[in-house]
Each structure stands twice: as C-alpha cells, then as structure tokens.
Amino acid sequence: MYVCLCNALKCRQFKDAAKSGARDVPSAFKACGAKPRCGRCFEEAARMIAGVPQRDPCAVPAE
C-alpha cells in the first residue's frame, strides 16, 4: 500500500526505515532517499514508524 504518493513510498519502506533506526518522519524520508513534499502522508507515515519495535532490545516501550 502506498503511504506517500508524492514519492511513491509504500508502507514497507517506512517500516524498513524504522527498523534501520529512523525515529521520525523526516529521518524516515531521508532513509528512503526521498524528501517530504505536501505533508498529507505524515500522519500515516508516523504510525508506520511507531508500529515498529525499537532496535534496542533493552528498550522498554512507554505505557
């Protein structure tokens, strides 16, 4: 499923960016080699990023 139509980025790409260490939308775009444009996808992209567990196995999720 496409999340960002401006850059043709799919949900998998945002999830992979998060797994690689991206913690927010700008860093996820950077990891994907893209630049944010219209901003319509930011909310969905943030949810994709937040849905991926932290890389640090010792990290405790906030409750």
Judged by the rule CB under 6 A, the positions of this chain that interact with ligand FES are 4-7, 36-41
DSSP annotation string for 19-55: HTT--SHHHHHHHTT----S-TTHHHHHHHHHTSPPS
Shortest distance (Å) from residue 16 CB to ligand FES: 16
Shortest distance (Å) from residue 48 CB to ligand FES: 12
Backbone torsion region of residue 39, taken as left when φ is above 0, otherwise alpha when ψ lies between -120 and 50, otherwise beta: left
**Closest CB to ligand FES among 5 and 53?**
5
Shortest distance (Å) from residue 33 CB to ligand FES: 14
